[in-house]
Structure 1
Amino acid sequence: MAVLSRRTVLQSLAAAPFALAAPGVARAAEFTLKYGNNLPLTHPLNIRAQEAVDRIKAESKGRVEITIFPDNQLGGDTDMLAQVRSGGIDFFTPSALVVATLVPVAAINAVGFAFADYDQVWAAMDGKLGAHVRDAMAKMHLHAFERMWDNGFRQTTSSKQPIETAHDMNGLKIRVPVSPLSIAMFKALSASPVSLQFSEVYTSLQTKIVDAQENPLPIIQVAKLNEVQKYCSLTNHIWDGFWFIANGRTWERLPDDLKTIVAGAINDAGLKQRDDIRKLNETVQADLQAKGLAFNKPAADSFRAALRDSGFYADWKGRFGDEAWGLLEQSVGKLA
């Protein structure tokens, strides 16, 4: 039997690191990062996010690996916002209304009946208004990528009647999320908003605690709200999206070449996800109609007039500030 000398052993150990770096042998990533969100893996956001993660790994030659934690695995929105601020996770895709609990101006995209269509949405959020919001988030040590991802326009369903004009909102008992902006808007329209957790919506509609609710069409479909509602009015009253954000310290640690790779993949994936949501909305409406939900499309004019007359726009212009409000009106026209 051969006897290994001390010199032979030391030479073997010294060569070991070079053996690990040999071609074809996997190396540990320089940056192992976590991304949390609140949606199932089957949602277009996670499908496109996985494509971005795969592209980042390939283009960085394995230097950056990102693991996705979907479906609230790491906690609710408030928990994950706190984690991405502290560095417990590296990426998060909160709704603008969630970010607004930390950065109030982030809610400006959810001003009632501000956007007529997606052309106006993307002109604002890909342009100066979006840059203004990103700058505000940067002051809270959050890096927001340039392209927002889509969560969709919110629509109104009711068990009583279709919503044709602002007058039809009078006295309507409608469930809204726990959002000061949403509550204020429906109060300004003379409705009776009730803040409830989403898990309570179906039962509350079924038992007539509320008569109406508002959500993007895919949420209405997934939650089977068509079973307890008769009408769906395409009010498009609020548009909301997801900001893809990173912990500021994590982002600053990345070398410039890796920042370029990560940002390029995430922004490109966001553009594809927008198109996915557009197509999904078309199929969802057809499905809900086939299941008996009656659709109508009211004009925004009477709603805008009611919000203007009630002082809603003037109030929120004061809250968001002249600069942010001015940037919004550059894309949507005069509101207040």
Structure 2
Amino acid sequence: MKQLLFLMTLIAIAFQSCNVGGSGTWKDENIDLELKTEIAALDKQVLNAVFNNSPESLKKVMSDELRKKTDDNIRQMIEKVSGAVQGANYEILNQYYVENSTTGVGNTVMSGISGTDDYIISYKAVNKEMFVSLILLKNELDELLITNVYGKYPEGWKLNILQFGQYRLNGNNAPQFYEMAKADYEKGYLIDAANHMFLSSQLANPANKFWKYQKEGEMRHFYETLMSEVKGKYTFPLAMDNIESQPQILSVYLQRTQEGYFPMVEYLTQIDIQDTVKTKEENDKIHQSIGQVFNGLDKDKAYLFYKAFSEIPNGQTPVSTYGFVKELK
């Protein structure tokens, strides 16, 4: 999948009031097969519209209110998503059918309560019958989630809510990156933990405000505590005084590659970037010391990336750089 990192688009109908009423929910295999077949045809229309970059086809599935609210931006949105998911396979993550005693009530469906990946989806039901269909678009290690929320109208099922959001990166979703970060933290690998929690935070709401992981509060608290600890321990630029050329580390973040995510260490060098012999000698020394500066950064991974800057980048003026790749044993 082309890099769709943190893509999040929102299409939804907004309603001001909420009535009081009861509802019943059926999930996955407990849903009537005839109804599932009817929804599958609608899901296929949504998918075809995305794959073929056809906003007009998508509009045929939408409710009147949704068409009105999205008419100005639907073309740009579908074009952006379509270009990112070409060649992807798809499968159903979960489906929920909800019967309400009245309209305008709040609906909440849950995948579970205590599982690592368990989530909650909440929305306002504008129809007595509602159907939530969660579709995963999968390509290599990345997965995009399409959230379709349909309502039953006199003329049939229509799309009330449509969401596109990143569900997995490099084979992991938000709670899985959270578990990795906790394991890093237990070993004292603060930077690795912070990097994994950054990815976790970017994947935390693949259906925007409608989606919430059961562990969301726990995940957020851990991230905030972790970042407070990281900021208290490291101040950037960070001078490496043990190296005579006095390089300064500017940042450490995860670099995406075809093999996964690996740390990128950016640093400021006083050595002429064009002098590749001396810059390599300096980089070798930095690499030898990096595990002492950032505990664990040189462990439990295949590569470390480095990028030397001739001056601190300001995001506006081009700066000379030189990169290094260190393969870890």
User: TM-score range, shorter-chain basis?
Assistant: under 0.3
Indicate the structure with greater helix content.
Answer: 1
Under a length normalisation based on structure 1, what TM-score does the superposition of the two structures give? Answer: 0.25
Greater RCO, 1 or 2 (C-alpha within 8 Å, sep 6+) = 1
Under a length normalisation based on structure 2, what TM-score does the superposition of the two structures give? Answer: 0.25
